[in-house]
Amino acid sequence: MSIRKRLIILMIFIGLAPTLVVSVVAYITIGTGLTHKTADQLVSTASEQQQRINSLLQKRQEQALELANTFDLQTNLGSYLASSGKLGKSQLQTTVQDTINSNPDIQNISLADLKGKIIASTNVQDDGATLGTQDTTMPNGQETTTTVREDQRDGIDKLYITTKVSVNKQESGLLSMVFRIDDIVAAVQDYTGLGATGETVVAVRDTQQHVISLFPLRFNTDAALKTNLDSLQLFSNYDSDYKDLKDYRGNEVFVAAKSIGFANWVIATKIDKSEALAQTDQLRNALIVIVAASSIIIAIIALYFTQFFTKPILLITEAAQRIGRGDLSTQLQLRRRDEIGTLANNINAMGASLKDFVASIEAQRNRLEIILNSTVESILAVDKQGTIILANKAAGELTQTPIHDIVGKNMSEVFRWRQDAEPFTIDYLQSGAKVYTDLQYVNPIGITHYVKLIVAEIKERQGKQTAQTIVTIHDETKGRELEAMKVDFVSMAAHELRTPLAAIRGYLELITFKAGNSLSPEADAYIHQALKSSTELGGLINNLLDVTRIERRTLTFNLEKIDLAAELKQSLEESAFTAKDKAISLNYSGLRVPSFVIADEIALHEVINNLIGNAIKYTDPGGKIDMLLERDGDDYKVSITDTGIGIPPEAQPNLFTKFYRVHGGLNSGSTGTGLGLFIAKSIIERHGGTISVVSKEGVGSTFIFTIPVFNEARFTSLQSEAQPKIIATRRHHGWITKNITR
Amino acid sequence: MAGLQKILLVEDNAQLVDIYLLFLKQNGFDVATAMDGDQALEVAKAYKPDLIFLDVMMPKKDGFEVLKLLRHEAQYNCVKAKIVLLTNLGDASKVSPQVHKDMDGYVIKAEIVLSDLLDIIKSLE
């Protein structure tokens, strides 16, 4: 349910509740009061009427009693009765006649004996008639009977009062007086204080025990002595104040009943319930109108007032939604100083700062984009599924594909890596960072690129899972090409150098052969020196060529089963002279039994000679060089130890690299191109071995290399994949011949 | 095979020709020379050598071509002769199987001394 609805309901509640409560309370209290007042009035009116009618009746009764107690009457009656009717009748007649003449409101007077037989009457016809039983029967404890009934003579209802006449304190006769009842009727018909529907009713119980109205009723003027008033329950308990009853019309009425005891009459005032409660109803209606009016007013106010709250909230909500959708220039125009105004201002401020924030992020992103697109390396971001989500300009150039065509494709679809002509797959989801070297990539137009890859994972913030992987591709093709060109140049140059060198050597040799002993010792020596230098030069050129072959991976070996021990011995013998020349002792220790390995004899020879040569070169005269051959598991280990100048620690890691010379520079006193150890390392490693050095400056150095022990199976497999077998009779450094008969 | 006596030297470098010629003659061999492929074929046909030192890198026909012709074409009279390739390039392993079959040896000029020539000839006898 919306706030507005809630607010409206709340306001209505708050506004109406007091009104309702007050109205209900008022209705109950006042209403009850009003009703009580009406009832009380009814009762008091009933009392008044009772008294009035009572006094009227009593007046009549007294008139009767008065006459009945007249001495004359009593005496005359006594006479009449004693004389059995002979005496006194006329006196009686005169008495009654006199009385009626002096009391005009008496209609008729009749005197009768106890049996009811009329002795004297103002109605002459009645003489000798009998009084009705209703006149002759006194109710218990009563002196008189009081009835109202129709006078037969004129059809008018009259009041009949009969009283006993006592002669000498003995009941002897009955006196009956008839009165008009106009005054009583007038009293009864006085409806003051009884509103529009109220009336006074006077009722008696008739012979059938029905309750009959004695006089005309307000709403039924014909009701006298006829209409049944049973429904008013007047005789049941007429001491109660009022009751809810229905009257002769069927209307609900309130009744207040009183008794006129001596006449056995009940006099009651009644009023229609509707009239009695009219005021209460009026009050109720007024209150209802008030409550209804209040509700409407409150509802209207609520409807209007809630807008005061909800409209701005709606506006603010809309503004927030717009900001959420990206419209950051939204501004709320709410000129209010209250909390809602503050909220609106805050939202505006938030929108503005978001805008700034987004702008700064965009600036950063632009910067990043510029950086990314200005690198030489191709940079790609790859998601968990291996889909490319970002590619920089260089990546586009590498793949010769527009960047938007790369993004969205899977990494393995765009890049099919190869290594040495074999397909190479990369798991882009591995953790950490990995470097892949020497891979090839063929671009869509068929050009091969030599690349180095770095694949680095970016972890998800809290988890251990890869969120993204960054792939950096370094295109080394140009570098390789340059490298290849360099190697080609060196190779070409070396080859070119060989030709004149061969000539120089050749001629020098010829001189030595031809001249023989005719040369002077000096010339002989010079030529030999020249020859030696040219041989050295040849060696240097060979080194260069070896290096280029190593670089191009075209250095091939002719692998045979070689006796390592024998080779070592031979090298030793070859170097003996040079060592002796420098007064360095050269010793061999270790295995003297055939120790076979799989090796290229010439290459192996080169390595050993290089190591021995270095040892001699860097050892001062008087020093010692030891050569040791041992078996170390599946390898043979050769150690060449000298007592030379040693190698500084910082130089040791770089020893086996190309062109590195420990005491570089022209004044170092050391010769050599620095290639020897590089070539030695390449050869040894290609043979499946290792080479290393242990050295201490001023003490000496030990060079150690290993070669796997000869293995028949391996030899056979190598033979099968090797170059065409050269069946050689003689193989020496520089030439090979076969001995075939054709 | 007994005594290789007649040697044909095919080499385009004049100096090397000079040196080898002198040396071989000094050591009692008969030597004829040619300085390109076409000349080589002509001389071979006429001279009928026992042993041919054949340079690989030559103008007009290169050594491999000459080798093939000499080995397989009877008209040049060298089908059974010993043919040793001369080169300054790298390995014997670089040559094609056919060349391998056709040749009797392989010499890297820059890596030999003159006396090696005698060993080479000896090894072929």
Quote the minimal CA–CA distance from B38 to chain A in Å: 22
pLDDT of A201 > 80? The answer is yes
Cβ atoms of B96 and A723 within 8 Å: the answer is: no
How many other CB atoms are there within 10 angstroms of residue A519's CB atom? Answer: 16
What are the Cα distances from residue A605, in Å, to A556, A616, A657?
A: 15, 16, 20
CA dihedral A404, A408, A413, A416 (to 10 degrees): 60
Question: 3-state SS string over A141-201?
Answer: CCCEEEEEEECCCCCCEEEEEEEEEEECCEEEEEEEEEEECHHHHHHHCCCCCCCCCCEEE
Closest Cβ opposite residue A735 in set B90, B114, B116? B116
**Cα of A509 vs its chain's centroid, Å:** 99
| Number of Cα atoms under 13 Å in the Cβ half of residue A489 | 6
Quote the minimal CA–CA distance from A569 to chain B in Å: 23
Residue of A510, A538, A554 with shortest CB distance to B22:
A510
Q: Three-state SS for B77?
A: coil
Which whole number is the average pLDDT over A462-484? 83
What gap in Å lies between CA B72 and CA B85, rounded to an integer?
A: 16
What does pLDDT average to over chain B?
87
Please list every residue in chain B whose beta carbon sits closer than 8 Å to the beta carbon of residue A508.
none
The mean pLDDT of A248-260, rounded to a whole number, is: 84
Collect all residues of chain A within an 8 Å Cβ-Cβ radius of residue B97.
Answer: 724
Chain B residues in contact with A507 (beta carbon < 8 A): 15, 19
Mutate: best of A509, A511, A738, A741, partner B, most B CBs <10 A: A738
- pLDDT of A667: 40
Report the percent of chain A where pLDDT is more than 90.
Answer: 18
Whether B104 sits inside 8 A of A542 (CB atoms) is no
pLDDT at A70 over 80: yes
Answer whether A738 touches B (CB < 8 Å).
yes
Burial class (CB in 10 A: 0-12, 13-18, 19+), A151: middle
The pLDDT, as a whole number, for residue B1 is 45
Chain A 670-729, residues with CB within 8 Å of chain B CB atoms: 723-724, 726, 729
Pairwise CB contact (< 8 Å): A506 & B79: no
Instruction: Identify the residue with better confidence: A642 or A657.
Output: A642
Question: Going edge to edge, which strands form the sheet with B82-87?
Answer: A730-732, A735-737, B105-108, B82-87, B51-55, B6-10, B30-34
Q: Which of A500, A542, A737 sits opposite B111 (nearest CB)?
A: A542
Backbone angles phi, psi at A712, to 5 degrees: -55, -50
Cβ atoms of A612 and A584 within 8 Å: the answer is no
Count of beta carbons in the 10 Å neighbourhood of residue B40: 31
Least confident of A180-189, A681-690, B85-94: B85-94
Indicate if the pLDDT at residue A669 is higher than 90: no
Q: Is the distance from CB of A213 to CB of A185 less than 8 angstroms?
A: no
Report pLDDT for A377.
92
Of all residues in chain B, the one with the smallest CA distance to A740 is B104
Residues of chain B positioned with their CB less than 8 A from the CB of A602: none
The one-character DSSP state at B9 is: E
* pLDDT at residue A569 tops 70: yes
Is the CB of B26 less than 8 angstroms away from the CB of A513?
Answer: yes
- Residues A354-381: what's their mean pLDDT? 91
Alpha-carbon gap: B51 to the closest alpha carbon of chain A (Å) = 12
Q: How far apart are CA A218 and CA A319, in angstroms?
A: 79
A chain contacts of residue B15, beta-carbon cutoff 8 Å: 500, 503, 506-507
Residue of A nearest to B91 (CA): A556
Q: Does B22 sit within 8 Å of A509, measured CB to CB?
A: no
* Chain A residue with the nearest C-alpha to that of B15: A503
Q: How far is B105 from chain A (nearest CA, A)?
A: 4
Higher pLDDT among residues A45 and A670, named by residue = A45
- What number is the average pLDDT over the span A498-516? 83
Contacts of A498 in chain B (CB under 8 A): 88, 109-110
Q: pTM to 2 decimals?
A: 0.51
Q: Which two tokens stand for residue A172?
A: 């002897």
Q: Strand, helix or coil at A669?
A: coil
Whether the pLDDT of residue A729 is over 60: the answer is no
> Long-range contacts of range A86-93, CB-CB < 8 Å, 24 or more positions apart?
A89/A119, A89/A120, A92/A119, A92/A120, A93/A120
DSSP letter string, A605-641: HHHHHHHHHHHHHTS-TT-EEEEEEEEETTEEEEEEE
Report yes or no: A741 at the B interface, CB cutoff 8 Å: yes
pLDDT at residue number B92: 59
Contact B107 A733 (CB under 8 A): no
SS3 of residue A346 by DSSP: helix
> Is residue A555 helix, strand or coil?
coil
How far apart are alpha carbons A498 and A730 in whole angstroms? 24
User: Which chain A residues touch B26 with a CB distance below 8 Å?
Assistant: 510, 513-514
CB contact under 8 A, A510 and B84: no
Q: Hey, are the CB atoms on A509 and B115 less than 8 Å from each other?
A: yes
Other beta carbons less than 10 A from residue A696's beta carbon: 12
Sign of CA dihedral A515, A517, A522, A528: positive
Mean pLDDT highest for which of A225-234, A321-330, A650-659, A680-689? A680-689
Spatial contact of A451 and A480, defined as CB atoms under 8 Å apart: no
Give the closest-approach CA distance of A544 to chain B in angstroms. Answer: 12
Q: Quick one: CA torsion of A454, A458, A463, A467, rounded to 10 degrees? A: -100
Which of B114, B121, B125 has the most A C-beta neighbours within 10 Å, making it the best mutation to test the interface with A?
B114
Considering only CB atoms, A506 lies closest to which of B91, B105, B114, namely: B114
Residues 6+ apart with CB under 8 A from A253: A232, A244, A245, A246, A247, A270, A271, A272, A273
- Across B17-22, average pLDDT: 92
Q: Is A724 within 8 Å of B89 when comparing Cβ atoms?
A: no
Higher per-residue confidence, A266 vs B53: B53
**What's the pLDDT score for residue A665?**
40
Q: Which residues of B touch A (CB under 8 A)?
A: 1, 13, 15-16, 19-20, 22-23, 26, 79-80, 84, 88-93, 97, 100, 104-116, 119-120, 123-124
pLDDT tens by residue, A630-639: 999 999 999 9
Given the structure tokens 């030559």, which residue do they identify? Answer: B58
Q: Which of A499, A514, A556 sits opposite B88 (nearest CB)?
A: A499
Across A94-99, average pLDDT: 86
Cα–Cα distance list, B85 to A448, A539, A737, B10 (Å) = 37, 22, 10, 9
Binned at pLDDT 50, 70 and 90, residue A360 comes out as very high
Task: Report the distance separating Cα A73 and Cα A75, nearest Å.
Answer: 5
Question: Cα distance from B16 to chain A (closest Cα, Å)?
Answer: 6
Nearest CA in chain B to A515: B26
As a whole number, mean pLDDT of residues A273-296 equals 86
CB A479 within 8 A of CB A435: no
Confidence of residue B30 (pLDDT cuts 50, 70, 90): very high
Closest CA to A397 of A344, A443, A351, A431: A443
Is A722's pLDDT higher than 60? Answer: no
Residue A355 burial by CB count (10 A; 0-12/13-18/19+): exposed, middle or buried? middle
Per residue in A77-87, pLDDT (tens digit) is 888 888 888 88
Quote the tokens at residue A338.
Answer: 């209250």
pLDDT at residue A693 above 90?
Answer: yes
Residue-wise pLDDT tens digits, A12-48: 888 888 888 988 898 888 888 888 888 888 889 889 9
User: What is the model's pLDDT at position B124?
Assistant: 86
Distances (CA, A) of A694 to A39, A589, A621, A670, A697: 135, 19, 21, 20, 10
What is d(CA A196, CA A198) in angstroms, rounded to the nearest whole number?
Answer: 6
Q: Which candidate from A500, A558, A734 shows the least CB-CB separation from B112?
A: A734
Least CB–CB distance from A507: residue in B19, B89, B119: B19
CA angle, residues A390, A394, A398, in degrees to nearest 5: 105
Average pLDDT of the residues of chain A: 84
A267-276, A295-304, A552-561, B106-115, range with the lowest pLDDT: A552-561
The tokens describing A222, both together, are: 């014909």
E strand spans, A675-729: 691-696, 700-708
